[in-house]
Amino acid sequence: MTEQDIFKIRRNLTDAGMNESEIDECISLIEQNRYAELNRLLTMHRLSLLDTVHKYNTCIDCLDYFTHTLERS
């Protein structure tokens, strides 16, 4: 893997919200050809992001309900 490849991977994983230690672990797993473990790590991060989305979606729904209630009164 070239330095350019590592740079691109780091940038992509940073953009995906991973921290430095998670990124280092991903790169290490790639270098060791441990793709099943890499997939597990990426899946766990994705699920964490989805949990955050769902949490904030619930908050938005609550605000929408409250706004709707205020408009009706």
Please give the structure tokens belonging to residue 52.
Answer: 């955050």
CA separation (Å) from 54 to 12, 21, 49, 50? 23, 25, 9, 6
> For 28-67, how does the pLDDT look when each residue is reduced to its tens digit (9 = 90+)?
999 999 999 999 999 999 999 999 999 999 999 999 999 9
Tokens representing 22? 């998670």
What range does the domain containing 61 cover?
3-72
Q: Evaluate if pTM is beyond 0.75.
A: yes
- The residues, any chain, with a CB within 8 Å of residue 31's CB and separated by 6 or more, are 1
Structure tokens of 30? 């790639």
Count how many domains the chain has.
1
